Structure formats: structure tokens, C-alpha cells
Structure 1
Amino acid sequence: MSYYYQGNNYTTSSSVYWTPGVKILIIANAIVFALQVILYSIESRNSGTWRPFSYFIQYFALDTSKVIPKLWLWQLLSYSFLHSITDIFHLFFNLLTLFFFGHIVEERYGTKRFLAFYLVCAVFAAGVYVSLQFLYPGRSIMLGASGAIMGVLVLAACILPDVTVLFYFIFPMKLRTLIWILVGMDIYMVLIPHGGVAASAHLGGAFFGYLCYLFSGRFHRYYMQWKRKIALEYQKEKEKSSYNMREEIDRILDKIHQNGIQSLTAKEKEFLQNASKKYKSNS
């Protein structure tokens, strides 16, 4: 898949896509998928009661009968690194989308914020999926990174809405147009009977991506202000502590000058020793 600005000379090289955060997520998903395949192979050859693949899915896929009732809350994130081993295209298209569009978000917000966004988006999408179980009662299991990937795709579209993409490598369209098509399909899937509740996770990821675009700048400013405030308060407290220490040292030295060192209490001697060590370590 390639993209460009219409009417502008804008091109990308393959190295641009392979940003650090994108690389980490793709490798992590690939490793987990390989582990799934290995466990499935072991289980399929084992006729006994040991079922490593089934246990792995049971504990790490998102199971609505366990995540809230049994407080298996890690499933709200772990499910996003699992994929169906019987449908390789599930993993392939998720990682392909991440490869082509993840760098747009990462270059805008930085690697740490991109990774944080991806993980929180996966949890948010899972929360939407679990919440919709009130409308679709019964046990259901979900796995896959599609919710988080949808969030990345929507955020990328908010950043570069007029980028032209080749949908399925054939149909050219604006990225924002593609988003409306995907969101419309997911809404349809959620509303029709037995249409697939997992589509709600896609919508949750899309909604979270849009929220991040609207409020991430404001939140980041608040965070930086709070961080500076904490740093200033820490510096003031450090200066106050240093001033109090100097005051106490002066008092003890005056006491030594007037009455001799033998007049010091054990606590005062220990304080001087600790103060001496602290000044030596700071010098």
C-alpha cells in the first residue's frame, strides 16, 4: 500500500515506515503468534490431558465470562497480542496496517506516547466490547489487535486526512473516506443480529483515536505543567531540607565550640556523620 498528497510532491521510503515503536509492536505480535503456533502444534500431537494452547487462550484471550466476573483484568490488554492461528490474514492485515500508518502517529507524538496510545487504545476497545455484552448477553471470546489498529488508523487520518491510499492496493481514496467506510461497516455489523460483537471493539478503538486527536495536545500540556510543578516543589523541598541541615550543623558546631565535642549527644554525632557523608557524595 502506498500513499501521497494529491497536488504535492510527497513521497515516502520503506525505511520511514519502520519506526522504533512500530517495530516493537510488530515484533511483539509476531513472537506471540509464533508461540501460539508452537503451543497448538504441541497440543495437537498430545493425546493426553495437557493442553497448553487451550490454557494459553483461556488465560490471555478476552473472555467476557472471566475478565470482569473473575477480575482477570490483564485480559483487557493481553488479548490484543493474540490472533487466530487458523486465519493468518487476521494477523497479516493488522500488522500491514500498523506498518503503513503507525509511523504517522509515532512521528507526530514520539515513540513513548505512541506506544502508550496503542496499549491504552487496546484496553479502551476491550472495555467497549465488554460493555456491549449487556446488549448481547452470553459468553464471548475476543482476540486480535484490530481495536488498537483501528485507533491508530483513525488518529493517522486525523493527522493526514487528505492522504490518498490504495484500498486493497487497487482503489484510490482519501484516508478520511476510508475511515468513514470502515466505521460504517463496523456500525452495520454491530447493529445487525449476530453480526459480530467484535466490531464494537473496532468502533471503540476508532472513538479513542479521535478523542486522542482532540485532547492529547491539551492533556500533554497539562501533564507537562504538572511535571514542572512537581519538579519545582521537589527542588524547593530539597533546598529547604539543605537549609535546615546547614542550620542544624551550625548549631552543633557552635555547641562544640562552646562546650567541646564531648557535649554532643549520640543523635547529634550521628547527624554530623550522615551530613558529612551526604556532602562528600554530592561533591
Structure 2
Amino acid sequence: MDERVTLALPRPGPGLKALLLVVGALGILEAIAYSYIPGGRSFFLALACSTDDVLNGQIWRPFTAGLLTRPDALGHLLFTLVMLYFLSPDLERRWGTWRFLRFVGAAMVFGFVLSMGIDAAIPGGTRALHPPIMYGAGAAIAAIAIAWSKLNAQAQVRLFFFIPVSGKQFFWVTIGFCLLGIVYPDGVPEGMLSPFGGVLVGILLGGTPSLLRQAYLRIKLGLLRRRVGAPAIPLSPPSTKGKSNPPRRGAPLLRVVQGGADDELRKRRPPKDKRYLN
């Protein structure tokens, strides 16, 4: 049966409600301070992300910057709220509130860390890849879209509320929008590379279980087997070629193998107290 995400506006969970409330409240406060309070721009600048400030020990900035929107553009605030809400209720329902919030926080942080990591890895002019002050939830939105598409590969969602696309197609649509951020960098206040950090987080931490957790469990199982000296589990079943004859045509798939349990039961004497027999 074809699954669809309808326009019935799914009810957000407590984690998504808190996230939308924080983003909305900060958006209004920073707009008021930025436009009407003398020196109010310092409030916005204290929460935004810049490479120099983070390297000087202000490590909270990669997280708080993901909660900010453009203080002089109402459209950016509304777009962020809608995109955070669009697919998040399904993820929070599947994962629970705390895993959903950890996922969003990891995407926000890693998006900015990726942009700043490029600065450190390739010094000299690389800050043209992002503005001096970075902010916005683009990495979190990309991560949510990627995670949802992985969990709902066969489901259908209406892009822009009228274009039907499957979850598998939505994965590549998300990648396409990230690539458009390179073509139009002025529309990406997070920096053109931050959404790709969100894509990576969505691939690694999305899914049930996630790829990162699968790798962790395999490493843990290997360490436990090495500690107790147990043989490793083969990745594929051993070949039985040449070890047994194929079943005859028309022969039953299952056979009854007689054991010695019946003989043992006949020799046993019934208990005198039969209250615990069953």
C-alpha cells in the first residue's frame, strides 16, 4: 500500500514544540534588539558562530548559531520554522524526544564545525566558503530530510505541498538543494558547506539502528569475542556444495528425526505430587 504524508498537519511532539518555541522566540527577540535597541546587535553577535571566537574558547557558538535566523528578514524565520516542522513529527515519534533533540543538536554543531574545519585544513582564503558570521538551521533541516528519506524510502511526500516525490527521490532532492547553496551562497547564512555536514549526520545517525550504532555494535561484539576467545561469526553461511545430495523432486521439505527422548520418558515413574506437573 502506498504510504503518504498528508497535509493533515501532524501533531508535533514535546521536543519539536520546544525547538520551535526557542527558534521562534529568539527570532523575535533578536529582530527587536537588532532594529530598535541601541547596541542590540551585540545580542545577535554573541550567539552567532565565527571561527575566531570558537578558537578563542567560545565553544557554545556552533550550537546557539543553529537556533538563529536573519534578524532583518521575517521570511527566513518563517521558512526555518516550517522546514523544521515539516518532517520532524515522524522522526520524533519513531525515535523519542531525546534522541530527536540530540540528532538535531549534532547536525547543527557538525555543520558549523565542518565549515570551520575547512578553514583549519586549507588556510588562506578558504573563508570565502562561508560568511564571517555564520548562523541558521540549514544543517539541521538537511539532516532531518535525509533521515526521514532513509526511514520512508517508499513513502510519498508532496514537495512544496503539490509535487509528489518518494522518500528515495527526496534524498536526492535534498542533496540538490545543498548543491544549489554553492551556486547561490548569499542565500545560505550558515555557509555553503554547513548543509553538507547535516547530510552526513543524517546518513550516519539516521535509521534504526543508525550506521554509526551498527559500527559500534560490531566493534563491541568483536572485542567481546576476542576477549572470550570465541570464533568470529562468518559473514555468509558456509557452502554446502558437494557435502549433501539435493532433495529428490517431490520430496517433503521437512523430515522427522527420531530421538531418544521417548524412551527416557517411558522409563520415568510419574510423580506422586502432580500439582507441579504442568
TM-score normalised by structure 1 residue count: 0.65
Name the structure 1 match of 2:136: 144
Q: Pick from 198, 202, 220: which aligns with 1:205? A: 198
1:63-78 equivalence runs, <5 A = 63-68=50-55, 70-78=56-64
Change (3 A) 1:94 1:40: same
Q: Deviations over 1:105-164 (max 9, x none)?
A: 111111011111111111111111212333623661111111112111111111112222
| Alpha-carbon separation, structure 2, partners of 1:128 and 1:23 | 28
Tell me, yes or no, if the aligned pair for 2:107 and 2:140 is still in contact at 8 Å. Answer: yes
Name the structure 2 match of 1:178: 170
| Alpha-carbon separation, structure 2, partners of 1:9 and 1:194 | 34
Q: Pick from 154, 161, 166: which aligns with 1:169? A: 161
Name the structure 2 match of 1:7: 2
TM-score normalised by structure 2 residue count: 0.66
Q: Does 1:60 align with 2:47?
A: yes
1:181-192 equivalence runs, <5 A = 181-187=173-179, 189-190=181-182
Segment of structure 1 superposing worse, 194-203 or 25-34: 194-203
| Alpha-carbon separation, structure 1, partners of 2:187 and 2:78 | 23
Deviation at 1:91, TM superposition (A): 2.0
> Aligned pair count?
210
Deviation at 1:87, TM superposition (A): 2.4
| Alpha-carbon separation, structure 2, partners of 1:8 and 1:102 | 17
Q: Pick from 114, 123, 126: which aligns with 2:100? A: 114
Deviation at 1:65, TM superposition (A): 2.7
Unaligned runs of 5+ in 1: 1-5, 226-283
| Alpha-carbon separation, structure 1, partners of 2:175 and 2:27 | 27
Name the structure 2 match of 1:38: 32
Change (3 A) 1:10 1:60: closer
2:23 maps to a residue whose letter is N
Q: Deviations over 1:204-242 (max 9, x none)?
A: 0011111012335537969xx9xxxxxxxxxxxxxxxxx
| Alpha-carbon separation, structure 1, partners of 2:108 and 2:46 | 17
| Alpha-carbon separation, structure 2, partners of 1:193 and 1:19 | 33
1:115-134 equivalence runs, <5 A = 115-133=101-119, 134=122
1:99 maps to a residue whose letter is Y
Name the structure 1 match of 2:85: 99
Name the structure 1 match of 2:11: 17
RMSD of Structure 2 on Structure 1 (CA): 3.0
Unaligned runs of 5+ in 2: 222-278
Tell me, yes or no, if the aligned pair for 1:91 and 1:144 is still in contact at 8 Å. Answer: no
Tell me, yes or no, if the aligned pair for 1:122 and 1:148 is still in contact at 8 Å. Answer: yes
1:136 maps to a residue whose letter is T
